[in-house]
Amino acid sequence: MDVVPVALGERSYDIVVGRGARHELARVVAEGVPSARRAAVVTQEGIGIEVDPGLPVDVFVVPDGEEAKSLAQVEALCRGFAAAGLSRADVVVAVGGGVVTDLAGFAAASFHRGTAYVNVATSLLAQVDAAIGGKTGVNIPEGKNLIGAFWQPRAVLCDTEALETLPAREWASGRGEVAKYALLGIESGRGGPPSADDPIEMQVAQCAAIKAAVVAGDEREGDRRMLLNYGHTLAHAIEASAFGDADADLRHGEAVAIGLIFAALLAERMGRIDEAAVEHHRRVVEAFDLDGHLPRGLNAEKLVSFMARDKKAQGDLTFVLDGPDGLEAIRGIDSADVVATLADMERMAPWNDGPF
């Protein structure tokens, strides 16, 4: 097992990476939540991963899909916790991907104004990003993750054995985040940036170590942690524009891959990077078997509206962009540049049949 520490003083915890990491659950609960006498396990129907927290358990099954990340589901979970007799001294265990860890973490943060939780991450997306760092939350029609809390888990268990049964599209969702980490230019302490050629355990540990280092220095996204949102401003806007659309078929990491190419093209338009840097972004995205083309049927005005509500924004358009000094958050970007970059991406799309 590879153990990656998240150094946050009295809120510090470990990320355990490796095959069979879920079997560490009883130990980390006993050590991290010694007061617990009962556990609430939150999962989804198709996860199929059994865990043993070493305590009496109540299991709560939430719906599949991003729609599960709602205030209605938070209320349903908290009412279930109360009916089961869960106390503030007990523990919530999230078993699943990013939807489950985001939702269960926010329910834990809300129940009794803060109940301990542990993440057992079963998807690549959760293992390299979503389950780490204590950002919990749910969606509303106005935007993704606009309601939530910073609430650190007591441990994160990244069992790479669980990845063996992931569908291809779920692999793509996680690879979008790995591609992001490969482009951040942040040292992991475990060799170079993540590569598609590395063993999966190494990729997960490298990404986890990068995120742990950033979170330790900026827990509540005051500055440096914004870099972890590279490619996400457009990605979240694409996801938000499809909210409630049963025909929309784009995983989070696939949207991030598109957002990474968009961010590179926007930075090039603003004179921050050159064409060679844009091509580097394309090569990294393609190495992870991802498509960076803009999907058909998007509305530029609607996307800009969602991007203006992004959590990094302060009444303006804010993007994490590459530049001569590396990545940084740039505020006050002209919407005309954003629209023009979207139009450039549409012209490059293989399906192109006209302007926005």
280 part of the active site: no
236 part of the active site: yes
281 part of the active site: no
Per annotation, catalytic residue among 24, 66, 170, 177:
177
Per annotation, catalytic residue among 221, 254, 268, 346:
221
Per annotation, catalytic residue among 22, 154, 180, 232:
232
Closest CA to 128 of 288, 265, 266: 288
Distance CA 245, CA 307 (A): 19
113 part of the active site: yes
Closest CA to 33 of 148, 114, 107: 114
180 part of the active site: no
Distance CA 64, CA 299 (A): 27
Per annotation, catalytic residue among 22, 236, 251, 312:
236
Per annotation, catalytic residue among 251, 252, 311, 312:
252
Residue with tokens 């709560």: 60
135 part of the active site: yes
232 part of the active site: yes
211 part of the active site: yes
Per annotation, catalytic residue among 22, 175, 225, 312:
225
Q: What is the largest distance, in Å, between two alpha-carbon atoms of the chain?
A: 62
221 part of the active site: yes
Per annotation, catalytic residue among 113, 164, 283, 301:
113
Residue count of the chain: 356
Per annotation, catalytic residue among 119, 139, 145, 229:
229
Per annotation, catalytic residue among 211, 251, 281, 312:
211
Closest CA to 229 of 220, 241, 221: 221
**Count of alpha carbons within 13 Å of 138, Cβ hemisphere only?**
19
225 part of the active site: yes
Give the distance from CA 15 to its chain's centroid. 15
Per annotation, catalytic residue among 22, 135, 281, 312:
135
Residues with catalytic roles: 113, 135, 177, 211, 221, 225, 229, 232, 236, 252
